[in-house]
Amino acid sequence: RRTETDLASALEDGEFELFYQPFVNVIQQTISGFEALIRWRHPQRGQISPAEFIPIAEEVGQIAPIGLWVLETACRQAMHWPSPLSVSVNLSPVQFREATLFADVRRILKETGLPPGRLQLEITESVLLHDTESVLAVLRGFRKLGIRISMDDFGTGYSSLGYLSRFPFDKVKIDQSFVRDLAKRENLAVVRAVIGLSKAMGIGVIAEGVETAEQRDLLLAESCDEMQGYYFSKPRPVTEVAAFLEAFN
């Protein structure tokens, strides 16, 4: 089980694939875009979860090439979707250590032709823990190009609130751990506070991990209109995106 050594050849052997999970505006009944989620079809071990291999890729220095493959593939595939549907790509904190990250993203947009306004990048607050000034400079550069930036897994890190004021995020993604048990008073309180704070700051909010109609209704009652989760759709292969959009309309 040599995940490290297998990772090195997985890219050139074409073993990665992107799945897509929609963002749903529940009030308008529209899809605003899809999040790209990487999958690894290992020839011997079958599907390996990114939860397992992304941390290893970060450790062994493979996340930079894999991350660029994800960006390039997501932008290229999103070019086939009706405008203005966006694609949202997860960036690892480790990718920010590459001095070329900004130039790489700009080059990929140019090469694929995807308008920057149709690309979103998802970062976690851990990105802002180290070398904050250089990270902020890169994030500002992205935004200047017209790329939108989301804060992912919001509420799971520490000092989350401070980070929101340090950078003009476009959107906050409420972590699924809070959505899972909204009947718990503490969770509902966190969700309510995040929604209130985001709205006061002019930041969009999306709830992740919505699995039931009950969760959907509780979130709607809190004025959270945008959601993502198995209730609406699991992540699906790119070949199913067109049919999903057709069926949703």
Q: Among Na ion, ligand G, Mn ion, none, what binds residue 248 when CB lies within 5 to 8 Å by partner kind? A: none
How many C-alpha atoms does 179 have within 13 Å on its Cβ side?
30
Shortest Cβ 90–Mn ion spacing (Å): 8
Cα–Cα separations (whole angstroms), residue 88 to 3, 77, 152, 162, 164: 27, 12, 11, 24, 19
Q: Which one of residues 73, 86, 90, 160 is an interface residue with Na ion (CB under 5 A)?
A: 90
CB closer to Mn ion, 112 vs 156: 156
| DSSP-assigned beta bridge partners for residue 24 | 31, 227
> What number of chain residues touch Mn ion (CB under 5 A)?
3
Distance CA 136, CA 96 (A): 10
Helix (H, G, I), strand (E, B) or coil at 150: strand
CB closer to Na ion, 77 vs 90: 90
CB closer to Na ion, 6 vs 122: 122
Only one of the segments 97-105, 153-161, 210-218, 225-233 lies at the binding site for Mn ion (rule: CB under 5 A); that segment is: 153-161
Shortest Cβ 227–ligand G spacing (Å): 9
Q: Among Na ion, ligand G, Mn ion, none, what binds residue 213 when CB lies within 5 to 8 Å by partner kind? A: none
Q: Among Na ion, Mn ion, ligand G, none, what binds residue 72 when CB lies within 5 to 8 Å by partner kind? A: none
> What number of chain residues touch Na ion (CB under 5 A)?
3
Phi, psi of 204 (to 5 degrees): -70, 155
152 binds Mn ion (CB under 5 A): yes
DSSP string for residues in 17-70:
EEEEEEEEETTTTEEEEEEEEEEEEETTTEEE-HHHHHHHHHHTT-HHHHHHHH
Residues interacting with Mn ion, by CB under 5 A?
152-153, 208
| Interface contacts to Na ion, rule CB under 5 A | 90, 122, 152
